[in-house]
Structure 1
Amino acid sequence: MAKGNNSGKKFSKKRVIKWVTGIAVFLVLVFIGAGCYFFNMAVVPRQKSFVSNGTVAIKKSDPLYKEKMWYKKVKKQTWTETSAKNNYRLVANYLPAKKTVIILHGYMSNKENMGAYAQLFHSLGYNVLLPDAEGHGQSQGKYVGYGWLEKADVKRWAQQVVRKNGKSSQIVIFGVSMGGATTMMTAGLKLPSQVKAFIEDCGYTSAKNEIEHEAKVLYNMPAFPRFPLVEILSGITKLKAGYFLGEASSRSQLKKNTKPMLFIHGSKDTFVPTSMVYKNYRATNGPKQLLIIKGAVHAKSIEKNHQLYSKTVRKFLAKYVK
């Protein structure tokens, strides 16, 4: 009888191990499948339901209607560049003046949506270079780099400005949302000496932090399965696009920066939480200034208080770009 009981126990143990192994394999496959889904949602350029896609129509009710229409009608040159990583063809609009600002758009946006910013800088006497990031607008590309891939391309655009406009060029790099994060990540590179200052508007602390935040807000996803799902997404992103989400860090790059940086954020930003700007602000080692626009939601600071926004940008540039 004892022998039979032992045999039954062994059989029972084997069944339990089988079931546990089967469940574990099933869960791994589910998480990998979910990771692939979120990779296509977050990293592959395509139509997104949670952000504005492509060029946004200009309405007369828009508080920045005049500025945006000015940009639409003004004569532009077309510049091209080759991406640092994959030799994609990149395209930019260029408006000539004296000094130069490179304006970087946000996630799934493009250069045509940056008219109000172009008008502001051009009115201050700046050449305006507006590139489409990889996989956006007219530029080629398979993946979104969240600033990590794009930073090397921005450096190339700056080098092109120096080649075309001469060594006496003075360059400012400005970006909004993902463009703001790209600006901060670019600030950590060894750049041409002609790059004098940076202005970032509502950029995130890192791609990983932002995706974790959006998973929580958009999908109401609790800590589990947010972990390990974001980690799996990060691994897939590394395999396909060449970087981990945690690598795409504004804060780590800002620690290498010694040049002036103006940080701008809306007080009611829930897409890139306002709390992120304070962490970014503390991270940089160069001269810095912080502007919080009261009542502004994500990427709407210039619209919410155009006068204060313009005045702050003008004074900052007058101080650091001669």
Structure 2
Amino acid sequence: MKKIGWKKVIVILAAFFVVFQIAGSFFFYNLAIKRGPKDFLTGNADLKVSAETMDVFLNGDWLDWVDKQKFEEKHMTSRDGLDLMGYYLPAKQPSEKLVILTHGYLGHAKQMGLYGQYYYEELGYNIFMPNARGHGKSGGDYYGFGWPDRLDLIDWTKLLTGKIGTNTQVIYHGLSMGAATVLMASGEDLPKQVKAIIADSPYQSVYQLFAYQLNRMFHLPAFPLLDNMSLLTSTRAGYSLKEADALSAVQRATVPILYIHGNADTFVPTEMTKELYEKTRSKAELFLVDDANHGEAFVMDQEAYERKVDDFLKTHLPTSNLSIDLSR
């Protein structure tokens, strides 16, 4: 009788474990990957920024600047049939320099106007700000966390340079998920026009990021829950959490990369960027900002941030007077 009792207990526990894993996979997929509101991030202490930064985010003059610009809406069909869109703004004076600014998780294209204003007003660049799949006016019922987005970025580059000329010099500048996107793209066969990459607050892989947050927010181990969720993500969104790997990509990179991160970042640990920097195959630079939390570096030390970006671009971009006209 005791043996039968123990067998039943084992079976019940095993069944409970399986049900928990399946239910957990769907729960966390819906929580993080499926398109929609993400209330679980509201009040997250790891995303708390300084009062100064919050004021800039909510009331900065860059918002008025964005509102006043006459952006051209650009549309593109992704390789898997999604309608993607972004905003293009030609430079005041003809320029061959184009920066593509990629936003973070749950953000939208025009939020990158915080950086776009600098590129446009101070550096005289043409700027393009795409909405990642699942964000803003772009299609998609899931978030790609940079992996399918890396191919979208490359296709945007080909579309834009096809219109503005083969001598275009393209910079990728991404924030958070957008930073992971540009780094994941670095491992691909990039269009020859891409000359440099700037990654602000990137993570290494989606699996690693989720493992860190799963432990920090829910006090749960990564295995086997994330592995099962990865299978679900592969089925529903077309990518696995482990293949979405920026660390592997930068080991194949051929263009110079500037890494930027806040030393006080607890949402995406600074150590992730340090290891990315150390493992990068191409020329790389690292710029850390003291007391800056996730995505705060630009606001916390804007002067030093802009100076570092300016020096990096001057070092790695040749000068030319080629004119660009995207109105064609």
Deviation string for 1:152-208 (max 9, x for gaps)?
000000001111101111101110000000010011110110111100000101101
Give the match for residue 130 of structure 2.
131
What is the correspondence of 1:148-167 to structure 2 with a 5 Å cutoff?
148-167=147-166
Residue 263 of structure 1: CA displacement? 0.2
Aligned AA (1:113)? Q
2:298: which partner in 1? 302
State the distance in 1 between where 2:277 and 2:155 align.
Answer: 26
Structure 2 counterpart of 1:288, from 269, 284, 287: 284
Three-state SS of the structure 2 residue aligned to 1:196 is strand
Letter in 2 for 1:95: L
Q: Aligned to 1:244, what secondary structure does the other structure show? A: coil
How far apart are the structure 2 equivalents of 1:47 and 1:115? 23
Counterpart-to-counterpart distance in 1, 2:181 and 2:220: 28
The residue number in structure 2 matching 1:106 is: 104
Q: In the aligned structure 2, how far is the partner of 1:297 from the partner of 1:50?
A: 19
The CA distance in 2 between the partners of 1:13 and 1:132, in whole Å, is: 60
Identical aligned pairs, as a percentage? 34
Pairing of 1:55-94 with structure 2 (within 5 A): 61-62=55-56, 65-84=60-79, 86-94=80-88
Matched, 1:32 2:28: no
Amino acid at match of 1:258: T
Q: CA deviation at 1:228?
A: 1.6
The amino acid across from 1:235 in the alignment is L
Looking at CA atoms only, which structure, 1 or 2, has the larger radius of gyration? 1
Q: Which moved more, 1:182-191 or 1:23-32?
A: 23-32
Q: Which residue of 1 aligns with 2:240?
A: 244
* More displaced stretch, 19-28 vs 156-165: 19-28
Contact 1:45 1:144 in 2 (8 A): yes
The aligned residue for residue 118 of structure 1 is 116
Q: Distance in 2 between matches of 1:197 and 1:112?
A: 22
The total of aligned residue pairs comes to: 302
Structure 1, residues 29-77: CA drift from partner, whole Å, max 9, x if none?
112101100000111111112447xxxxxx9942771223212211111
Code of the residue aligned with 1:118 in structure 2: it is G
- TM-score normalised to structure 2 length: 0.88
User: Which one-letter code corresponds to 1:134 in the other structure?
Assistant: R
Change beyond 3 A, Cα 1:152–1:27: same
Q: Is the Cα contact below 8 Å between 1:68 and 1:119 reproduced in 2?
A: no
- Once the two structures are TM-superposed, the CA of residue 125 in structure 1 deviates from its matched residue by 1.6
Letter of the structure 2 residue corresponding to residue 24 of structure 1: A
Where in structure 2 are there 5+ consecutive unaligned residues? Answer: 43-52, 319-328
Which whole-Å CA distance do the structure 1 matches of 2:185 and 2:38 have between them?
A: 26
Pair 227,173 (structure 1): closer, same or farther in 2 beyond 3 Å: same
Runs of 4+ in 1 over 6 A off after TM superposition: none
Relative contact order (C-alpha < 8 Å, sep 6+): which is higher?
A: 2
1:51/1:23 Cα in 2 relative to 1: closer, same or farther (>3 Å)? closer
Secondary structure of the corresponding residue to residue 213 of structure 2: helix
- Aligned positions of 1:132-281 closer than 5 A: 132-219=131-218, 221-223=219-221, 226-281=222-277
Q: Contact between 1:258 and 1:284, CA under 8 Å: does it hold in 2? A: no
